[in-house]
Amino acid sequence: MKKRKSIIQCSLLTTCVTLFLAGVCFIQSSFRAVAEDEKKKFAQVESLKKIVKPESEWRKTLTPEQYRVVRRQGTERAFTGTYWNNKAKGMYHCVACDLPLFSSDTKYKSGTGWPSYWQPVKKEHVGEKIDRGFFSTRTEVVCNRCDGHLGHVFNDGPRPTGLRYCINSASLKFRKKTETNKTPKKAKPAQK
């Protein structure tokens, strides 16, 4: 009888220890998952860390036309840029710092002679500034990492956003879609 009692006690203890260890493992793995999430978030923020360089450095890495548009808020002549009529699938990056800015999925034919998109690939990648010219006030759009000038955004775009991002080809570098670098099939409107 005494032996039986001690066997029961022993197996109860073993069960308790096993449950305790399983609990510890579960908590540890949960903490690890949270830490991974934090790491990912940090990496995302890190990728948008501002790039600040002296103008002499930008002059070295950009062509004279790119420099005039990107660093001096210039505008290329309509129907002269590389991408206004580009229909290939892929991603348009900032020519100065390589941040992805616009997907070909949101490019459309605006008839203006400049590459036009109805939405940036990520809202936080494209910044906006008020551009007060001599005759009008427009909204300038810039790369949010290097502050390079891209073009302007207007309210006469197509659905679903109704926006027209009118961008200089000189501010962009196109990367064609490949099997290993697939962009999402359908672009969804960004959440406001």
Place of tokens 């840029």: 81
Residue 171: how many CA atoms within 13 Å on its side-chain side?
Answer: 31
What does the binding site for Zn ion look like in residue numbers (CB under 5 A)? Answer: 94, 96-97, 99, 143, 145-146, 148
Query: Does the annotation count 97 as an active-site position?
Result: no
Rounded to a whole number of angstroms, the minimum distance from the CB of residue 78 to Zn ion is 23
Question: Which CB, 126 or 187, lies closer to Zn ion?
Answer: 126
Instruction: Report the residue number, 146 or 187, with the smaller CB distance to Zn ion.
Output: 146
Of the two residues 71 and 145, which places its CB atom closer to Zn ion in the complex? 145
Q: Report helix, strand and coil shares of the chain as percent, to nearest 5.
A: 35, 25, 40
Closest contact distance (angstroms) between CB of 95 and Zn ion is 8
**Among the residues of the chain, which ranges form H helices?**
2-47, 55-61, 64-70
Local structure of 126: helix, strand or coil: strand
* Residue 50 Cβ vs Zn ion, minimum distance, rounded to whole Å: 10
Residues with catalytic function: 166
